[in-house]
Structure 1
Amino acid sequence: MKSATKRYFVELAFHGGAYHGWQIQENAISVQEVLNKALGTLLRVPVNTVGCGRTDTGVHAKQLFAHFDDAVGAIEGNEERIVTGLNALLPTDIAVKQLFVVAPNAHARFDAIKRSYEYHIHFGKNPFLHGFSWQLRDRPDVEAMNEAARHMMKYKDFSCFSKSHTQVFTNNCQLTKAEWQWLDGGRLVFYISADRFLRNMVRAIVGTLMEIGNGKRDLNYIHEVINSKNRSMAGVSVPACGLYLTEVLYPWDEK
């Protein structure tokens, strides 16, 4: 008898301030745990999602995908109703955007070919940006930071920006974008895209580029840091509140 099991992708967005990242933790609340519980409540069976990656504590996501299997055939034809039900069950800081069937072997993490992040900075106290952006007093030299970012894109091994004791097969990443831009209102955003990212990588890169932008280091610093392959050589990890996962692409998105 043919199995009724179908694999689904769920697209969601969340404000990460109340969560210890995406991935389930033993003694802390995570986005994955809350989503699994809501799906299990609706489908009336335990559901275990697999995310496209892990975000750190306090990091936000404008777009994140996860996959799971519907073994009871409760979703097909009811996708919109399930999305509505999920959003009714989920807290206000998590929103499901869509739910769609994929190939049985599709994988939210391993099939992703590109991921993009933004890091937001603002200057001066702004209660409407608190928890959504990193507040700074002095404006950095953005031209110098962009020059360093261009040099950084020549490399592939980013061991120096990886959190210690992570279990990965390689620290190589293929960057396709790394650029600072001013927004209207004097806000500053760092845009970065790659095929994959290491744990804590974006926040460490921002901290390192800020060392150059603040005049504490010269342009050669970026080469010294990357060639060292040593996390202690890089800048500090900047606050999580300014970081957003903004886009995840799959091979079928390019067709």
Structure 2
Amino acid sequence: MTTPADGLAALRDGAAYRPARADRPVTRRLDSGVTIEVPGPRILAETFALPTLKLARDVYRSGSALLFRDHGAEGEPTPVNMVHLAQQLREDLASLPDRPDAGRPYRDLKLFMTEGDTGSVSAYLADALKATRQAAPVWRPPAAPRPPAMTPAQRKAKQRERENAAEEAAARWWISEVLIPTLEDPAPIGPQPGEKIAAADLYQFAAHSFQCWREDEETDHETPGPRIFYRVADELLAPSWRGTGGVKTYRLPNP
């Protein structure tokens, strides 16, 4: 199986021109007078740094943070200390074994990590870890599980539930905001305070009001059905009773 070190050893110097600065080889002169050429920061990140990190953990990014999580864990990944990570990367590169098959970038990296001045090495590793973070997948919290799909019967019941709620709201609005205020200052024609009125007549009066208002675009309420209207009327006015001939009847309140 190919390892990150194998990928690093396969790199060769004198690579074709790369337009992005992060991909271009970096040339340095050491205090010993030796000139070295190491891979561009993004090449090091994609060839060695990120694959090495992924061997032991899941790696993600979020904003400016690099996140780690153990393989197989289910919790959220946690941010890593980039200073400590840079030191670990330097040690990993410095301790690479000598390989006769390795190209110059591999050999020069080992030399740079051990003989390069601290400022140059730190800046190079910081660029490499920035590229590592950018190459890592974005952490996205798992989506909440979707509820099971409703059956046609459940969807129909849910729709009817919404319709019933809308009808009840319309009935409450009409009785409490239209009918009762009207009884406080009644017109000559229409329901009168204390009047006994057949439930069907009261409902027809309400339904006619809703129809007129909708035609004039003065309300968005739908006309409530009789069953719901009577149930709300029993609550807000007074329970109905069976009058002469068994007719369901209400007595309107007398403010």
Q: Structure 1-normalised TM-score?
A: 0.19
Q: Which has the higher helix share?
A: 2
Larger RCO: 1 or 2 (CA < 8 Å, sep 6+): 1
Q: Structure 2-normalised TM-score?
A: 0.19
Larger radius of gyration: 2
